[in-house]
Amino acid sequence: MVEHTPRALRSPGPMLEFLRGRDVLVAGWGVSGRSLIEPLRDIGARPVVTDAGEKAMAEAAELGLDTATGAALLEPGALERFALVITSPGWRPGSPVLVSAVTEGIPVWGDVEFAWWVDQARLYGPVRKWLVITGTNGKTTTTQMTHAILRAAGLPSVACGNIGLPILDALRRTPGPQILAVELSSFQLHWAPSVRPEAGVVLNVAEDHLDWHGGLDAYAAAKARALTGRVGVVGLDDAVAAALARKSKARRTVGFRIGVPADGELGVVDGKLLDRAFTKAAILAEVGDISPPGPAGVADALAAAALTRAIDVAPQFVKEGLAEHKVGPHRAAFVRELAGVGFVDDSKATNPHAARSSILAHPQVVWIAGGQLKGAHIDDLVEEVAERLVAAVVFGQDAPIIAAAMARHAPDVPVVELGSGDDAQMSGEPSTASLVAEIDGADAVMARAVRIAAGYAGRGDTVLLAPAAASLDMFADYTHRGRSFVAAVQALDERDIGSQQ
């Protein structure tokens, strides 16, 4: 099966006009799919919805939309009626309907690609400035920081994209924003080859979603599409992101680092964020004012500062915006302290790279991890953080992989593996122990994991949820997983602390 790599278009006008009076297939009835309907109608196109879920198809039909099943669309000649296919970012390039469309010469766009051309065509007012944020980790925090800086500067703006608000919904707002702080995933960038942001940043690139992209090179190439506009920004402390600077197609490329910046960079000097890229030298903020604290938060702040300085936001507003920004839920968020033990919720650490930053922010950690690794390797992480680990509790689909890595690289660290049924198996010390849990559902598994982790913790330790994996094997999403952790932590009392010691 031939997979499709979309190509950029030269002009928005003819294609959007060509859609008038034509059928457009909306592939995927999620948040992004719903956001397509009114703009398509405003252009004069007729949206037709397809989705693998019966409930989704029924909902679309109830709204008066035409629908078509995947099987029907794969019948000979069935796709000929469509002028365009707009796909959900989650659909893989090798999906049969998408491959069939390409084979028949029908263009396939993502919803972000469509939003870009809608904006360029001025369907909802003057063209906006796009500030694009991508990376394996830190996207949402950087997007929120960027928006906070824009608000401090009094600029009409909105945070949108992968952060929750579809770009098309942002464009249709009244009054409309002048600047979009756009968080984009690798999936969205793969399907959006035409986007040319005013400024775009690649924060970092680590193994993630390799099962979707087919490998790290393809994943990095998707991320690099953020570096195609007027200003490209890269995280220089990340080897893969730094290498993308040499391949950047932006008219100007700058970098940021957690260290002394060279000319053309942003960095940190004597506890202050310093801009040497857009001016000779300007102090932007104090490290102590950054939330979340630690290297990852500082890196995100530098990235947000670079994006906003690229559009001439004054240093004073960078300082004000970063000072006003507070970390969102489930992103290294402190939950409580109990008997000298801290509990931190970083459910958003959905890959090993994110978990690394979270663990390294604390000297002694009882680690709660597990879920779907999505093809990412865990050994390097475990080897690097082994000396900080007091114990580990692992659960979910790939718990055995994490437990095996612990046995190889941290053999003296107690590891408790919780299954999806009733049993908890322990490796490490004490090697002969056996724990039996009465587990009913994901929340009960989390409650058991938190109680066991608290039992290994002592004064000065941190019980850290940093799963290093996706959540969908057990939970509705990472926010559900984080809420479950918080609820379990709040249910503890001091008798639970150190009970396994």
Q: Taking the CA atoms of 55, 472, 205 and 163 in sequence, report the sign of the dihedral they define.
A: positive
Measure Cα distances from 247 to 66, 233, 293, 474 in Å: 43, 12, 31, 39
139 is in an annotated binding site: yes
140 is in an annotated binding site: yes
Point out which residues pair with 341 in neighbouring strands: 338
Give dist(CA 320, CA 77) in Å, integer.
58
- Where b means 16+ CB within 10 Å and e means fewer, 49-83 reads bbbeeeebbebbeeeebebbeeeebeeeeebeebb
DSSP strand E in 211-305: where? 231-235, 252-256, 265-269, 272-275, 282-286
Contact 461, 339 (CB under 8 A): no
Three-class SS state of 409 = helix
DSSP 294: S
Q: How many CA atoms lie within 13 A of 317 on its CB side?
A: 19
Contact 45, 23 (CB under 8 A): yes
Three-class SS state of 442 = helix
> Of 46, 43, 183, 49, which is closest to residue 118 (Cα–Cα)?
43
Tokens of 21: 């009076």
Residues whose CB falls within 8 Å of the CB of residue 316, separated by 6 or more in sequence, listed in order: none
Q: Which residue has the tokens 């850290």?
A: 464
135 is in an annotated binding site: yes
Beta strands across the sheet bearing 157-161 = 157-161, 179-183, 129-134, 199-202, 231-235, 252-256, 265-269, 272-275, 282-286
Give dist(CA 444, CA 437) in Å, integer.
9
Tokens of 237: 């402390």
Q: Which residue type, as a one-letter code, is found at position 378?
A: I
Beta strands across the sheet bearing 46-50 = 66-67, 46-50, 23-27, 82-87, 108-110
Give dist(CA 168, CA 43) in Å, integer.
13
Residues contributing to the annotated binding site? 135-141
Residues contributing to the annotated binding site for ATP? 135-141
